[in-house]
């Protein structure tokens, strides 16, 4: 069997040469953590407690840290509107007030402080595109909103988000109020940045204005755009979304598309991405998980884990959505409280923990060069950074498949870091359904 190879270099990110979690001295510190090193954990407060979720999350901080997480992303925690409501946390009434359902400002500040003690950073979800219909902004500044031809304020066009009113970014006064509100939480709660919702709906020149202003405070901030526009990086975002990679993974599982297409989309997504930036890759988040959890989206628990390794290990940018690590079997409607048993499925959680530990230990996985061996069924690629060299094989089919190995990896005994066992390999490698191997030469 002839192997076609693709060789391309991963983006070399800020801080990699200095080691995980250590800022390089040659450049100013722009972020609290290098994007290459991020292991992000999305927190939906409504799976932790029906009331006082901040306190409950603080109580679980050690467990979250022990998973290997170093960045916490909180879904919106602000006061939400009541007019036309569907109880969405993305329907913001007051950008500078908290939803009392979750707790107080002191509770939040304590949570952030406890996260920092454990060397975890906290980013909050910012919702710039719209507010609730009963927001004081709308009552006092109608001109801050998008209006139709007869002066009626409208919802964001073409979205179906009828519970919110669309903001007008042509209004300079509104922009300044928005930026001031973003600074409020950095100042009052000590947070470390934002995940900016619906970033593709907001004009580039606002993002440039906002991020320039936030960066000028001198506080190292991690900024994530929920969008895939290339100009997010020109606006000085550190990360944005790898939507195309997720769509490609779904085509592999739903339509039997070639596994080799993952390498193609990886190259396309990183075209033009500047040094020091990262695409956030995920198999689920709050939008995806509201319908189908990964353990159903990708056939079963083994398929979900194989998809996770293929998503996180190729080019880094790791995200875990709370409940994912215990293989929660149902969709989570984030408009209401959905209890999760955090003690369920401990072996599955430990598997995630082990994979995250390997990710953090090996610079080759997080930010190394990539040599791909495209195949219809098995994702096979080398990763290396200096002397750290690995061969990763992932069967993304629910059936056994075989692939030819590159010559330099054959006829020897390798260490599988996933299982901790030695594996003798010949010219071909056969993998069980959804099996993955993380191989290192002994």
Q: Could you state, in order of their start, the residue ranges of all structural domains in the chain?
A: 20-363
The mean pLDDT value for 418-440 works out to 96
- What CA–CA distance (Å, rounded) separates 412 from 92? 59
- What CA–CA distance (Å, rounded) separates 142 from 34? 40
Superfamily of domain 20-363: Glycosidases (3.20.20.80)
Per-residue pLDDT, 23: 37
- Expressed in angstroms, the distance from the first to the final Cα of the chain is 26
Q: How far is CA 258 from CA 266, 353, 427, in A?
A: 14, 29, 22
- What CA–CA distance (Å, rounded) separates 287 from 119? 28
Is it the case that residue 2 has pLDDT exceeding 60? no
The mean pLDDT value for 162-187 works out to 98
- What CA–CA distance (Å, rounded) separates 111 from 52? 12
Per-residue pLDDT, 6: 61
Give the pLDDT confidence of 245-259 residue by residue, as tens digits. Answer: 999 999 999 999 999
**Mean pLDDT of the chain, nearest integer:** 93
Give the pLDDT confidence of 260-295 residue by residue, as tens digits. Answer: 999 999 999 999 999 889 999 999 999 998 889 999
> How many residues comprise the chain?
442
Is it the case that residue 234 has pLDDT exceeding 70? yes
Per-residue pLDDT, 166: 98
Structure tokens at 206: 């606002």
Per-residue pLDDT, 373: 98
Handedness of CA 6, 352, 13, 367 (dihedral sign): negative
Is it the case that residue 15 has pLDDT exceeding 70? no
Give the pLDDT confidence of 314-324 residue by residue, as tens digits. Answer: 999 999 999 99
């Amino acid at each position: 069997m002839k192997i076609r190879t693709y060789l391309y270099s991963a983006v070399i990110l800020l801080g990699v040469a200095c080691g995980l979690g250590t800022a390089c001295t040659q450049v100013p510190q722009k972020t609290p953590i290098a994007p290459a090193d991020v292991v992000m954990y999305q927190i939906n407060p409504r799976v932790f407690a029906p009331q006082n979720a901040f306190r409950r999350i603080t109580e679980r901080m050690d467990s979250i840290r022990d998973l290997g997480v170093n960045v916490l992303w909180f879904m919106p925690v602000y006061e939400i509107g009541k007019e036309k409501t569907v109880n969405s946390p993305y329907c913001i009434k007051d950008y500078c007030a908290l939803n009392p359902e979750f707790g107080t400002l002191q509770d939040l500040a304590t949570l952030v402080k406890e996260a920092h003690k454990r060397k975890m950073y906290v980013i909050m979800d910012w919702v710039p595109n719209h507010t609730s219909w009963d927001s004081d902004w709308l009552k006092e500044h109608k001109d801050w909103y998008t209006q139709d031809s007869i002066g009626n304020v409208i919802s964001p066009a073409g979205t179906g988000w009828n519970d919110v009113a669309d903001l007008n970014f042509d209004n300079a006064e509104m922009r300044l109020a928005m930026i001031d509100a973003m600074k409020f939480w950095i100042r009052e709660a000590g947070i470390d940045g934002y995940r900016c919702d619906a970033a593709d709906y907001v004009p580039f020149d606002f993002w440039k204005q906002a991020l320039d202003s936030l960066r000028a405070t001198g506080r190292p901030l991690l900024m994530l755009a929920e969008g895939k526009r290339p100009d997010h990086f020109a606006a000085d975002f550190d990360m944005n979304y790898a939507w195309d990679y997720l769509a490609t993974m779904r085509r592999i599982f739903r339509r039997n598309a070639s596994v080799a297409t993952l390498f193609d989309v990886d190259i396309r997504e990183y075209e033009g991405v500047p040094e020091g930036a990262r695409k956030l890759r995920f198999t689920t988040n709050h939008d995806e998980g509201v319908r189908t959890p990964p353990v159903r989206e990708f056939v079963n628990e083994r398929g979900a884990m194989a998809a996770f390794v293929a998503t996180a290990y190729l080019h880094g940018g790791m995200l875990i959505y709370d409940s994912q690590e215990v293989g929660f079997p149902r969709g989570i409607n984030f408009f209401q409280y959905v209890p999760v048993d955090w003690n369920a499925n401990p072996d599955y959680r430990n598997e995630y923990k082990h994979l995250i530990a390997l990710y953090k230990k090996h610079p080759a996985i997080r930010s190394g060069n990539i040599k791909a061996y495209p195949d219809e069924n098995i994702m096979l690629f080398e990763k290396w950074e200096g002397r750290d060299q690995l061969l990763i094989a992932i069967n993304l089919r629910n059936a056994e498949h075989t692939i030819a190995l590159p010559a330099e990896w054959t006829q020897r005994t390798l260490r599988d870091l996933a299982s901790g066992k030695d594996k003798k390999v010949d010219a071909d490698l056969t993998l069980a359904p959804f099996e993955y191997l993380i191989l290192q030469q002994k």
